Structure 1
Amino acid sequence: MVVAVSLGVNIQSVLVLLTASSGIALIQEKQAVVLDLGTDYTKFGFTGEAAPRCIVRSEFWCPATRRVRRLHDYSSAAELYDNLVHMLHQLYFRHVLVNPKERKVVVVESLLTPTLFRETLAKVLFIHYEVSGVVWADSPRLCALTLGAPVVLVVSIGAKDVEVAAVVHSCVVLHALQSQPLGSHAVHAELARMLDEHNGGPLHLDDQVIEDIKVKTCFVTSRARALAWESDSPPRAARDVRYGRVTVPGRARELAAEPLFRRDHEQSSLPDAVLQCVAASPRDCRRALAAGILLTGGGAALPGLRARLAAELRQLVTQPPYCDTLHVREFKFHDAPSAANACAWLGGAVLGAGEAGAARAMPRDQFARAPRLRDWVCLLDNTPPGHPHRDHLDI
């Protein structure tokens, strides 16, 4: 009060300002948190913000074994429960320093997340940490939400898998969903093989070292150079670089990402997955999907990936079996509004900041009455109430 009088400030106005500032602080304290538990990296932060507060590896210090343990390394539901408890404790109390009881949670998940993982995560959030409510949101629709476009083809290149989903007017075309084991780990395995071959023996490099080499030295070569490498007269390789005591040859730098585009008899390459998703989508939205491709995930950050994928799509669509079913010749890509690995998290932050996201949250008392989550793969959830088979599903 003395300071206010000496400065000539009205006491009533000071009280108003203090009340307003405390109200703003109270609102900020009750912001929901957005949780994206990836296979390799976890994104965690608050709704309404443009970027996560932390992006950390999906691992924690296990006090029982006295070593660092990966979140997704588990063999039973009880082991997964303990992993999630330790991981969330690290996120809440070390990285963002908030009380989990006071905040709702927006969980960003893949459409192919195992049911055991979803239900165990729900038990940890509702029972162990006693959060007030949880919103479960799939990553394809969250990625499309960041663009505001009605039709988006989301190509997510994760750690283990590549998922291609068609989002049409905020709905995922489930029967067109494609998934292939062509994530970043496939690139890491190819890079490790080529490094061992060049250095004359197994180097036994750690996974984090392989990832660091990929991020700092590798890129996706053009389609013409990739075809030239398979011919009898290979082109001149890129410059060799040194990574510590390891020599990274130019050939490995160029061709480490080739498993994403290597075709086989089952048509399981990345361009095949994109075209198969477009072909399985409704006819009236195929051109819009081809003109609205969004690359997300940590693997999408490789330099030259977008140009190479566009060239492969333009060439592949003119060949059987796509030339007879797909009459699309133009492919365009969206620029992600954030880093490729945080695009789904940003969609969760946008969803949780609005009133619609808060309304979709499952409260803790509802989960206590019926500890079960809705799942699109379960007939109990996707069968209409009036369907004749509905009575036989109620168990």
Structure 2
Amino acid sequence: MSLDTTASFLGRLTSSAGSPRRHSIYGTGEDRIVLDIGSLYIKAGFSGESRPRHIVPVYAGNMKTHWDPDFNGSGGIAKACGESCRVVGEFAELFDLEIGKYPDGLDALYDRLAHYLREIYFRYLLTDPKQRKVVLCESPMMPVRLKELIAKVLFENLQVPSISFAPSHMLALLTTGCTTGLVIDVGHLETTVLPTFTARPLTPFIRTTPLAGRALTKRLKELISTYGSMVIPPSTKNVPVHAKYLTPFVLEDIKARFIFVSPIMVSEASIGIAEKTLVDDMEAKYLSVSSATDILYPITISKLGRERQMGTLIIPGWIRERCAEVLFEGDEDESSVVGCALECLLKTPINLRRSLASAILLIGGTTLLPNFQARLAQEILRAIHTDKRFASLRGLADHIDFLEEHGSGKVFGANCRAWIGGSLIGSLKSTVVEITREKYSGQVPDWTTSNTITTT
């Protein structure tokens, strides 16, 4: 299936680009619900559509009670949450990859999942969960316990008819019209590199690294805390940045709006994969060679529904330009994104390497950073030519190519490709691993276990 065929197919299934089809809560249509549950955002919508209907951010908060203020002077009381309540709290991760180490937190995670999924069905999608099957886009490294919790919520709480589990890397690749490629998913919790050959994920060759969006956010917070400053009225003097102002929401907003990836420094072009640079050494290394402008970012607080500016955060331009260096600097404990990709190629059979290297696909929200793909291409070529570990891959240097360069990157966003692939699979009623509510026994299919689930 070519890219144009894929795009036109999804276009025909959507009534119009600006006005997607409306689904009635009373309907019994065959369109499936497509869910892509990430650690920071949940993407949800109907199969056959060319983009998610909603991208819901995740917040930390109590799912069972809330404080109901009394403006007459009595202070207020704690009330049980109802169907009309929304989560109020700080922008926060929904789950962590080490979920198995915190068994006491599984109940709280179940409550959060149940709350968000019910809100997605009844507030956003306005549809009856009992009437529609579900396509769940899953990362190959998603913890089995997390998958079991999601299935438990969907089957026992929402009573969906069935769940189809589909690997996100393969789904993303299908949106390009190709079935073979090296998919690099730079998400929030980790970077995952998975080769796919003729629509078959080669999971034994998968490689991961924790250098991803969360590592970038951590580096950004460290740099702003160390080198940034603030102006808090009525004073006009610059003062150090207090940690309370660098909330997860503020850091995510800065990362999305102002951070970009800069090319390789000429002085480092002859070395292999760069080693990690200490935060204390970064200003001396990058300040004199940076041309990026400083940014004035307003810090606001919300009180009684009103926004009030507390001060102005001053972010040096070189931080915007070089904050993302953490993704390209690795060591023996944590491979860089480049090292992770090349190690994956080294593990694959020799006869597959050329076809994989010539079809690299970048997905995940972190890859949306401006100039990320160009920098990654530079780093791959530098590592192949200068790092002895990858000497056997030097014959691939002339064949390194990205699928986005052939136009597919302008059709679908990298952060939504997996969901769009799930929409395509759901609309085609393709054969994927499916488990029905009648056959659900608490187990879910996973490539790391021997669970046997009937496929349809």
TM-score interval, normalised by the smaller of the two chains: 0.7 to 0.9
Is 2:373 the partner of 1:350? no
Which deviates more, 119-128 or 343-352?
A: 119-128
TM-score (norm 1): 0.84
- Rounded to whole Å, the distance in 1 between the matches of 2:61 and 2:331 is 41
- Work out which of the residue numbers 284, 291, 303 in structure 2 matches 1:237: 291
SS, match of residue 331 in structure 2? coil
RMSD: 2.5
SS, match of residue 213 in structure 1? helix
Is 2:150 the partner of 1:121? yes
Partners of 2:209 and 2:334 within 8 A in 1: no
- Rounded to whole Å, the distance in 1 between the matches of 2:286 and 2:248 is 33
- Work out which of the residue numbers 55, 68, 74 in structure 1 matches 2:89: 68
Partner of 1:3 in structure 2? none
Partner of 1:365 in structure 2? 438
Partners of 1:154 and 1:295 within 8 A in 2: yes
1:255-294 matches, cutoff 5 A = 255-266=322-333, 268-294=335-361
1:28-39 matches, cutoff 5 A = 29-39=29-39
Partner of 1:216 in structure 2? 257
Deviations 1:305-350 (A, max 9, x none): 0000000000101121101355311311112341111000000000
- Rounded to whole Å, the distance in 1 between the matches of 2:42 and 2:129 is 17
1:109-148 matches, cutoff 5 A = 109-148=138-177
SS, match of residue 310 in structure 1? helix
Partner of 2:72 in structure 1? none
Which deviates more, 59-68 or 136-145?
A: 59-68
Q: CA deviation at 1:192?
A: 1.4
Q: 1:219 to 1:260 in 2, by over 3 A?
A: same
Partners of 1:60 and 1:90 within 8 A in 2: no
TM-score (norm 2): 0.73
- Rounded to whole Å, the distance in 1 between the matches of 2:221 and 2:266 is 21
- Work out which of the residue numbers 192, 217, 236 in structure 2 matches 1:188: 217
- Rounded to whole Å, the distance in 2 between the matches of 1:256 and 1:106 is 36
User: Percent identity of the aligned residues?
Assistant: 31
Partners of 2:63 and 2:112 within 8 A in 1: no
Is 2:321 the partner of 1:298? no
- Rounded to whole Å, the distance in 1 between the matches of 2:212 and 2:150 is 24
Q: CA deviation at 1:284?
A: 1.1
Q: 1:231 to 1:197 in 2, by over 3 A?
A: closer
- Work out which of the residue numbers 191, 194, 201 in structure 2 matches 1:172: 201
- Rounded to whole Å, the distance in 2 between the matches of 1:265 and 1:281 is 21
Is 2:59 the partner of 1:59? yes
Deviations 1:191-228 (A, max 9, x none): 11111122263432111111111221111000126849
- Rounded to whole Å, the distance in 2 between the matches of 1:236 and 1:56 is 36
Partners of 1:226 and 1:255 within 8 A in 2: no
Partners of 1:217 and 1:253 within 8 A in 2: yes
SS, match of residue 361 in structure 1? strand
- Rounded to whole Å, the distance in 2 between the matches of 1:188 and 1:362 is 37
- Rounded to whole Å, the distance in 2 between the matches of 1:147 and 1:225 is 34
Give the helix-richer structure, 1 or 2: 1
SS, match of residue 256 in structure 1? helix
Deviations 1:124-181 (A, max 9, x none): 1111111111101111111111122131111111111001110111111112101111
Q: CA deviation at 1:64?
A: 2.4
Q: CA deviation at 1:78?
A: 2.4
5+ residue gaps in structure 2?
1-22, 67-87, 97-101, 230-238, 270-281, 299-311
